[in-house]
Amino acid sequence: MASYRIALNFEDGVTRFVECRDDEKVLDAAFRNKINLPMDCSDGVCGTCKCRAESGAYDLGDDFIDDALTADEAQSGLVLTCQMKPSSDCVIAVPTTSAACKTGQQKFAATVARVTPHNDAAIVLELDIEGAAAPAFLPGQYVNIDVPGSGQSRSYSFSSAPGEQRICFLIKKIPGGVMSTWLERAEVGAKLNLTGPLGSFYLREVHRPLLFLAGGTGLAPFLSMLEQLARTNAEQKVHLIYGVTRDLDLVLVDEIEAYAKLLPNFTYATVVADAASSHPRKGWVTQHMPEELLNGGHVDVYLCGPPPMVDAVRKHFDESGITPNSFHYEKFTPNVVAKEAA
């Protein structure tokens, strides 16, 4: 008997993972894991358990009525979790909060394995997970990391791919910053508490070309996505534009280059905003998005960067008259725990 991993994404950004057998309905698997998904009849009659399947293969059977789920709704990806039986891993968007489903954020512990500074721009933090199970997350998601002794936490996207016992983060180095200061003296073996995964910014199923736009340490989630694409032998074209303020802010370019050699359809470009730079491509990422990359709108765009960059890209799309098939973005601001994603 096969079982599959079901990611339940709630409106408040919390993601919970459950294992669901191929002969089991998703609603029952969630209840078995003490997650009370919305429901009333559980017989495919009321439609209360309606959610959206964002990826994966499944069977809805024919034991539900049209008033609960119309053929057009099913065609668009809506599902009744009381009838849905998976035949692969799935991602499901739940139209309510985790609290309403009597579940919440997961917490786990890790120990510092390595801290690697990159100029004065960034720090790579590598953590080993305590216990047997590697944390489950979707490529692009983030966690909140408690900063020891501060009573504060900071949000960082995974730069490593799911399923690894060692997880990695690319952290902007901020003089006097709470996490940056702690990392300056952090020792191997130091313990950290993490909460997550969180966020609606993650790699969806790939059906068309991808355009990745990274600003500074917003590169982190794309490294996770690229590793996932490499593992699944993705065939669609992928182009990354990595923009920074100064030459010294260009970090982990060697890792990007490694993916360019590993993924035959992956290309990338680096851009430096500093006018005094000798970099071959200067300016903003919006100045280095040729029309062919936008593919007439037949493209899925992912953007992670500071708010001014996100706003500039959104304005660029509005002014160009090109609407991507989908546009997923995440804003981040140093020292702010909450993230905004769409």
pLDDT tens-place string over residues 151-201: 999 999 999 999 999 999 999 999 999 999 999 999 999 999 999 999 989
Count of CB atoms within 10 A of residue 151's CB? 8
**What is the dotted CATH code of the domain comprising 3-101?**
3.10.20.30
Predicted TM-score of the model (pTM)? 0.90
The CA angle 147-149-151, to the nearest 5 degrees, is 65
Count of CB atoms within 10 A of residue 175's CB? 7
Which residues of the chain are in CATH 3.10.20.30 domains?
A: 3-101
Q: Which helix (H) or strand (E) holds 182?
A: helix 178-185
The pLDDT value recorded for residue 342 is 58
Q: How far is CA 221 from the centre of its chain?
A: 6
How high does pLDDT run on average in the chain? 93
DSSP state of 245: S
Among the residue ranges 47-56, 240-249, 292-301, the one predicted with the least confidence is: 292-301
Q: Has domain 107-198 been given CATH number 2.40.40.20?
A: no
Which residues of the chain are in CATH 3.40.50.80 domains?
A: 210-341
Q: In this structure, which topology does domain 210-341 adopt according to CATH?
A: Rossmann fold (3.40.50)
Distance CA 323, CA 313 (A): 12
The pLDDT value recorded for residue 338 is 41
Calculate mean pLDDT across residues 104-116: 94
**Residue 196 Ramachandran class (φ > 0 left, ψ -120 to 50 alpha, else beta):** left
